[in-house]
């Protein structure tokens, strides 16, 4: 009986180690200084077009193609989206709930209400969620990162 418990413990320990491996995607990370997501959201003009490194918890992943993920901010109720060219990098669904470092180019999109509704519908479809168009009442400014490389920890 004791051997059975030891074997089970070893199996579960090995499974935990396997899931804790780093996943490296895209280009290798070259930057070392992390920029806070809250700082990017507060001052997008300062970072627009610049290569930056962010870090945070992955809170959502595109279920259809793995072409985007959302990273939680250092401030409550804030996030930033990381978008990649379809097929160049595919973010795995297993990234959700794990910490990630992502390097990319900061960009700001200014969407009309119609464009914002279409984008939100598309993202809801990809993530299997629902969306109410009435929640978007006017133009939307979207700050995001064009992802070049990532490490999921």
Check if the beta carbon of residue 153 is closer than 8 Å to that of residue 22: yes
pLDDT for 133-151, tens place per residue? Answer: 999 999 999 999 999 999 9
Q: Does a structural domain hold residue 7?
A: no
Instruction: Give dist(CA 53, CA 133) in Å, integer.
Output: 33
Q: Does a structural domain hold residue 11?
A: no
Q: Does a structural domain hold residue 105?
A: yes
pLDDT for 80-89, tens place per residue? Answer: 999 999 889 9
CATH number at residue 40: 2.40.50
Q: Which residues pair with 51 in a beta bridge?
A: 105
Residue 60 has pLDDT above 60, yes or no: yes
Q: Does a structural domain hold residue 41?
A: yes
> What does R_g of the chain's alpha carbons equal in angstroms?
18
What's residue 6's pLDDT? 53
Check if the beta carbon of residue 131 is closer than 8 Å to that of residue 94: no
pLDDT for 64-106, tens place per residue? Answer: 889 999 999 999 999 999 999 988 999 999 999 999 999 999 9
Q: Does a structural domain hold residue 5?
A: no
The answer to whether the predicted template modeling score (pTM) of the entire model surpasses 0.85 is no
Instruction: Give dist(CA 121, CA 83) in Å, integer.
Output: 16
Q: Does a structural domain hold residue 12?
A: no
Q: Does a structural domain hold residue 14?
A: no
**Structural domain span for residue 100:** 21-152
Domains: count for the chain: 1
Q: Does a structural domain hold residue 15?
A: no
Residue 22 has pLDDT above 50, yes or no: yes
């Amino acid at each position: 009986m004791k051997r059975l418990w030891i074997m089970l413990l070893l199996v579960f320990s090995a499974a935990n180690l396997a899931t804790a491996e780093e996943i490296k995607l895209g280009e290798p990370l070259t930057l070392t200084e992390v920029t806070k997501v809250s700082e990017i959201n507060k001052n997008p003009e300062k970072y627009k077009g610049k290569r930056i490194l962010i870090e945070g918890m992955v809170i959502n992943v595109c279920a259809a193609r793995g072409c985007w993920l959302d990273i939680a901010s250092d401030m409550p109720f804030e996030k930033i989206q990381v978008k990649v060219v379809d097929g160049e990098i595919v973010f795995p669904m297993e990234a959700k709930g794990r910490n990630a470092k992502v390097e990319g180019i900061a960009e700001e999109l200014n969407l009309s209400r119609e464009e914002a509704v279409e984008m939100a519908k598309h993202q809801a479809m990809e993530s299997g969620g629902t969306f109410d168009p009435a929640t978007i009442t006017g133009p939307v400014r979207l700050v995001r990162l064009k992802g070049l490389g990532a490490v999921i920890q």
